[in-house]
Chain A
Amino acid sequence: MVVMETPTRADVVARVRKAARSPLEQLRGLLVGLVGLCLVTGVVGAVEIADRRTVLTEVTQQSIPLASAALEVYQSLSDADATANSVFLAGERASAEQRTRYLADIERAAVALSTAAAGTSDATARTVAELTAQLARYSGLVETAHTHNRQGLSVGAAYLRQASALAQETLLPAAHRLYRDEVNRLVAVQRDAGSVAWLAVVVGVLTLGALVAAQLYLRATTRRTFNRGLLVTTGALLPAVVWLAVASAVAAGHTDAGRDGVARTEALATARITALTARSSEALALVARSDAGPYEEAFRKASTTLDGDANMPGSLAAAVAKVGDHPEAKEAADAAIGAWRQWRELHDRNRADLAAADTARSSALADEVDQRLAEAFGHAQRRFEDESVRAVDALDAADVGVALLALLGALAVGFGLAPRIREYR
């Protein structure tokens, strides 16, 4: 058995120093180092861009449709409840339009729920499942009420009350929860994705620095002024780094604009939900024929919220303040405020003299408020969607592009340094 003599620490250091001083070893080290830096730049850049693109694509493909589907569920259910109650109130004088409107509401809620179900996350899957199951129950109760009413049986009113309680106490809170969850997720995702890819840019700049240093070193140690391979590498990496910086910055800019869009649509959506609550409370108070009951209280509460200042979530003032920079949305929101003032006055007049109450006009004004807010919401939503799509577009092909340029750079390093290394053989 041969006993190997363990080299001392000093021996090793000396041997490495000697090797490093040898030109061949130095060239080999340069080759490995530069190729490594190019590849790291490519990988980090591609991963950072791909991450952002995945997230921002999810925002446009999933989060936005989900949040708006959740809002649609709320809106259509609230309208279905108010309409079902008005139909009951009118008895056999109820128009076919009102009945059609209820059916259309249920259809819209079902379609919106299927959208929500298709793209739902684990966290909201339960809420969507619950809404789907309860919607079937809700429409069953309303139809039972309808059938009894047609036969002149007063138990129909009891079925309708049960349906309405299901809508008010279970379905609407669940739909609101779904909307909140989706908006919160949207905001969180955008916050993560909406930044410049600094890490990749820094790595890229360092690589460029190393390339310049390597070329200066080669000029000093060889007879050639330029190394063509390393020039190609520099030519590939410089646009890659610029592309990285510009694409991620533009995407971040659009994402910031989109984030304002979330705040804008949210303010409008909350105001709309409040107005819908006022509308359905008014309809329910009429069915209950009770002017001092809990429904009037709910109307008062919604009314106070709608009239609140710009700091109050759900107020019309807050909605207008948020869409201030968007002329079309602002015009629609202002029209909503006008209709709301008329509605509020009529509501008080109706309550003062129940016998002469003009409930048809009151219901028409409520529709007007809802439609105007829906219009403003539509404008704000479209702008928000545009910004989000632009953010994704800005990143288009950047990941693959940066990776390919970096790979090209790495190859060129090899082609540039291989002949120099061969010279030592």
Chain B
Amino acid sequence: MRLWVLAVVAALTAGCASAAQVPQRPQLSLAPPQPPGMVAPSDIKGARDPRECPDGKGPFVPERSSLRPSGPLPPPGTRFTTGALSTITQRGKVIVGVDQNLSKFGSVNPLTGELEGFDVDIAREIAKALFGDENAVEFVVVDFSDNFDKLAAREVDLLADSITITCERRYTRQVMFSTDYFFSGQRVMVPKSSPVKGIEDLRGKRVCAPNGTTSIGRIMDPALGLVPVAVREFSDCLVLLQQGQIDAISSTDSVLLGLVEQDPTTHLVGPRFSEEHHGLAMREGDEDLVRYVNAVLEQLRADGTWSRLYGKWLVDLEPVLPSPPPALYVD
């Protein structure tokens, strides 16, 4: 009888028992966090050198590629009857594509939530010339992944996005640039603790710039032997540098200035190794707008506004406040 009881108990407990095993901790190897829009190495695309043209086009001189103003600047509030200007004046405001993550040129002030920078101020000056009101401007946020597409889709009248004037963009994007509104050149930004003294020390190292820019185009130059890392925004590069995911950032010093200022443990090294003229971009069909914007820029150069704005935003870029770039025209 006792045996039977034991058998019953054994049978009952057998149902509950499980194969004994000490559980193992899962082994994780998490990838480092990435900014949204990080570009896979095979999809990185850089803009070509400013003077390098698509087949059958050119020669091209970036600083001498725009159209002469059609006369003196008409008074603010003038109603235009033809062309792009008539659309803008009928609308009562100019729509400008600006960056919101490009410190010094177009970025959101985290304290006020407002857009600010050199490009933003230039856009306001254009609105002031058109309507006598610097607030008659609507800002549409763009970055280098979508700025020319938004221009082509007529979502904006013009782009003020620190864009380097290049022959490739002029013809493949069907845009016309304004005259040169500021000049800078590409340099290298590294942590102060880094032994890197210039671009030549970065062979085999990871170097970051936004996709589609002339900066990433140069980083991709096989002769330099860099490992390009392409993101969507310039500030994404700074995050990656602070997280130790990259070794350096390389872009125009005007852009890098805005990044260095946000991180005192970094600095610029080496000389400029490119010459970049920057222009406001418009659709090539909007010739009247191009000529008008150039007239505004001439006035800004002449009346000291350009120097005031340059001094306000980019004063640390060069030892001496430069003169405005000269206005040169193809016609």
B30 pairs with A133, CB closer than 8 A: yes
Task: Assess whether B26 is in contact with A125, with CB atoms less than 8 Å apart.
Answer: yes
- The distance in angstroms between the C-alpha atoms of A289 and B100, with both chains bound, is 9
A149→B110 CA distance, assembly (Å): 5
B residues near A133, Cβ cutoff 8 Å:
28, 30
Q: How far is the CA of A165 from the CA of B5 in the complex (A)?
A: 62
Q: A47-B12, A290-B141 are known contacts. Are A157 and B36 too (CB-CB below 8 A)? A: no
Give the shortest distance, in Å, between B330 (CB) and chain A (any CB).
34
A165 and B112: CB pair below 8 A? Answer: no
Q: State which of B23, B30, B34, B103 has its C-beta within 8 Å of the C-beta of A165.
A: B34
- Closest Cβ of chain A to B154, distance in Å, is 12
Let me know if A100 is at the binding interface, CB within 8 A. no
A43 touches B12 (CB 8 A): yes
For A158, give the chain B residue with the smallest CB separation: B235
Q: When the two chains form their complex, are residues A42 and B8 in contact, meaning their CB atoms are under 8 A apart?
A: yes
Assess whether A126 is in contact with B110, with CB atoms less than 8 Å apart: no
Q: Return the CB mask of A80-94 against B: 1 if under 8 Å, else 0.
A: 000000001111110
| Residues 163-194 of A at the B interface (beta carbon under 8 Å) | 163-166, 168-169
Question: A54, A88, A161, A164 — which one has the most chain B CB atoms within 10 A of its CB?
Answer: A161
- Chain B contacts of A51 at CB under 8 A? 15
Contacts A51-B15, A288-B141, A289-B141; A155 near B263 (Cβ below 8 A): yes
The answer to whether the Cβ of A114 comes within 8 Å of any Cβ in the partner chain is: no
Q: Are A148 and B36 in contact (CB under 8 A)?
A: no
A90 engages B113 (CB within 8 Å): yes
Q: Contact partner of A50 among B16, B113, B155, CB < 8 A?
A: B16
- Min Cβ gap A201→B in Å is 18
B8 touches A122 (CB 8 A): no
A88 contacts B28, C-beta separation under 8 Å: no
Residue in contact with A154 in the complex, picked from B12, B23, B25, B235, CB distance below 8 Å:
B235
Residue of A whose beta carbon sits closest to that of B115: A289
Q: Is there a chain B Cβ closer than 8 Å to A137's Cβ?
A: yes
Contact of B262 (CB < 8 Å), options: A93, A134, A153: A153
How does the 8 Å CB contact mask read for B228-240 relative to A, with 1 for contact and 0 for none? 0000010110110
Residues of B within 8 A of A47 (CB): 11-12, 15
- Chain A contacts for B140, CB-based, 8 A: 289-290
Report A-chain residues with C-beta under 8 Å of the C-beta of B1. Answer: 411, 414
Is A403 an interface residue, CB under 8 A from the partner? yes
Question: How far in angstroms is the closest Cβ of chain B from A149?
Answer: 4
Cβ-closest chain A residue relative to B114? A91
B239 / chain A contacts, CB cutoff of 8 Å: 155, 158-159, 162
Asked if A338 is at the interface (CB within 8 A of a chain B CB), the reply is: no
Number of interface residues of B (CB under 8 A): 43
Q: Is B111 among interface residues, defined by CB-CB distance under 8 A?
A: yes
**A292 is an interface residue with CB less than 8 A from chain B:** yes
Size bracket of the A interface: 35 or more
* Chain A residues whose C-beta falls within 8 Å of the C-beta of B25 in the assembled complex: 129
Return the CB mask of B1-27 against A: 1 if under 8 Å, else 0: 100110110011001100000010110
Write the nearest CB–CB distance from A352 to chain B, whole angstroms.
Answer: 14
Distance in Å: Cβ of A416 to nearest Cβ of chain B? 15
**Are the C-beta atoms of A91 and B110 separated by less than 8 Å?**
yes
Instruction: Write the nearest CB–CB distance from A421 to chain B, whole angstroms.
Output: 15
Q: A155-B235, A403-B12 are in contact. Are A162 and B113 (CB under 8 A)?
A: no
Q: Are B15 and A50 in contact (CB under 8 A)?
A: yes
The residue from B8, B103, B139 contacting A39, defined by CB atoms under 8 A apart: B8
Q: Which residue of A lies closest to B98 (CB)?
A: A289
Q: A125-B26, A148-B262 are in contact. Are A410 and B4 (CB under 8 A)?
A: yes
Is the CB–CB distance between A126 and B26 below 8 Å? Answer: yes
A407 at the interface (CB under 8 A from B): yes
| Chain B neighbourhood of A411, CB < 8 A | 1
Of A43, A149, A164, A289, the contact of B36 (CB 8 Å cutoff): A164
Nearest CB of chain B from residue A75's CB, rounded to whole Å: 22
**B327 interface hit (Cβ, 8 Å):** no
Q: Mark B136-166, 1 if CB is under 8 A from A, else 0.
A: 0011110000000000000100000000000
B35 contact from A88, A162, A407, Cβ within 8 A: A162
Q: Are A407 and B5 in contact (CB under 8 A)?
A: yes
Q: Which residue from chain A places its CB closest to the CB of B237 in the assembled complex? A: A158
In the bound assembly, the distance between CA atoms of A164 and B4 in angstroms comes to 65
Q: A91-B109, A290-B140 provided; 16 other pairs, C-beta below 8 A?
A: A39-B8, A42-B8, A50-B16, A129-B28, A134-B30, A148-B110, A154-B235, A155-B239, A155-B259, A159-B239, A163-B33, A165-B34, A290-B141, A403-B12, A411-B1, A414-B1
Interface residues of B (CB under 8 A from A): 1, 4-5, 7-8, 11-12, 15-16, 23, 25-26, 28, 30, 33-36, 100-101, 103, 107-113, 138-141, 155, 233, 235-236, 238-239, 242, 258-259, 262-263
17 pairs, A vs B, C-beta closer than 8 Å: A39-B4, A39-B8, A43-B12, A47-B15, A54-B16, A126-B26, A133-B30, A152-B109, A152-B111, A154-B258, A157-B110, A161-B236, A162-B33, A162-B36, A165-B36, A166-B33, A289-B140
Query: Chain A interface (Cβ within 8 Å of chain B)?
Result: 35, 39, 42-43, 46-47, 50-51, 54, 88-93, 122, 125-126, 129-130, 133-134, 137, 141, 148-150, 152-159, 161-166, 168-169, 288-290, 292, 355, 399, 403, 407, 410-411, 414
The 5 closest A-B pairs by CB, nearest first: A158-B235, A149-B110, A91-B113, A165-B36, A154-B107
